């Protein structure tokens, strides 16, 4: 066997031998991402419900504006970047990158085919700028709690607060069960 054939065989063996390890790593990353998503979502919901109970939707908007970025930063630990994005943004700082935009469009297609928004998720290892990166997104369905600020019938005082904080707001007009956006996580490998 020639040296080139031997090297090719060795490379093939190494890639086949590492495939199960990569699958295990991807499964572990997906599990970590799901846990991080749940923790992020629970922390956001706790802040929003607390603000809603204390001062109604206008207070919840203020809490979301001030607390959500800090919660995302606090949950971005151990190499994870945690955030939220949408095709209909409220905060332009949360604009989707190309992968997120494609995934959100895919979620819309899957939802249109009958898959519930609450079950939509995607995990993938991609190469970004020459770096392998694990990407994960989990859909955020529009819940009844969301409709006072994201629905079709928004009270004038709520609209005024939204307009003041988010002059380019496009995150209105949702119905219960719509795809509001998604949690998005990434980790460089």
Q: What are the tens digits of pLDDT across the range 144-156?
A: 989 999 999 999 9
Instruction: Please state the length of the chain.
Output: 189
Tally: H helices and E strands in the chain? 4, 4
Would you say residue 12 has pLDDT above 60? no
In sequence order, what are the residues at sequence separation of 6 or more whose Cβ sits closer than 8 angstroms to the Cβ of residue 106? Answer: 122
Residue pLDDT, tens place only, 66-101: 888 999 999 898 899 999 999 999 999 999 999 999
pLDDT band, residue 24 (cuts 50/70/90):
low
Residue pLDDT, tens place only, 131-144: 999 999 999 999 99
For the chain, domain boundaries: 24-188
> How far apart are the C-alpha atoms of 140 and 148, rounded to whole Å?
16
pLDDT recorded at residue 171: 96
Q: At what angle do helices 3-75 and 156-165 cross, to 10 degrees?
A: 130
Region 52-69 average pLDDT? 90
Would you say residue 189 has pLDDT above 70? yes
pTM attached to this predicted model: 0.83
pLDDT recorded at residue 23: 55
> Are 127 and 164 a contacting pair, CB within 8 Å?
no
pLDDT recorded at residue 21: 46
Region 96-120 average pLDDT? 97
Mean pLDDT of the chain: 88
Three-state DSSP at 22 gives helix
pLDDT band, residue 13 (cuts 50/70/90):
very low
């Amino acid at each position: 066997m020639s040296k080139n054939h031997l090297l090719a065989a060795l490379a093939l063996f190494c890639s086949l031998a590492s495939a199960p390890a990569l699958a295990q790593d991807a499964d572990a990353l997906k599990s970590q991402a799901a846990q991080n998503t749940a923790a992020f979502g629970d922390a956001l919901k706790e802040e929003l419900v607390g603000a809603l109970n204390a001062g109604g939707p206008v207070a919840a908007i203020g809490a979301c504006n001030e607390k959500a970025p800090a919660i995302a930063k606090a949950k971005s630990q151990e190499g994870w970047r945690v955030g939220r994005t949408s095709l209909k943004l409220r905060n332009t700082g949360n604009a989707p990158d190309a992968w997120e935009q494609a995934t959100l469009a895919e979620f819309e297609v899957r939802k249109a085919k009958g898959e519930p928004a609450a079950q939509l998720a995607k995990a993938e290892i991609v190469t970004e700028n020459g770096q392998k990166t694990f990407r994960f997104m989990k859909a955020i369905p529009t819940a009844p709690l969301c409709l006072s600020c994201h629905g079709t019938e928004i009270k004038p005082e709520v609209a005024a607060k939204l307009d003041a904080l988010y002059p380019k707001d496009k995150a209105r007009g949702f119905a219960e069960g719509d795809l509001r956006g998604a949690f998005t996580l990434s980790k460089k490998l």
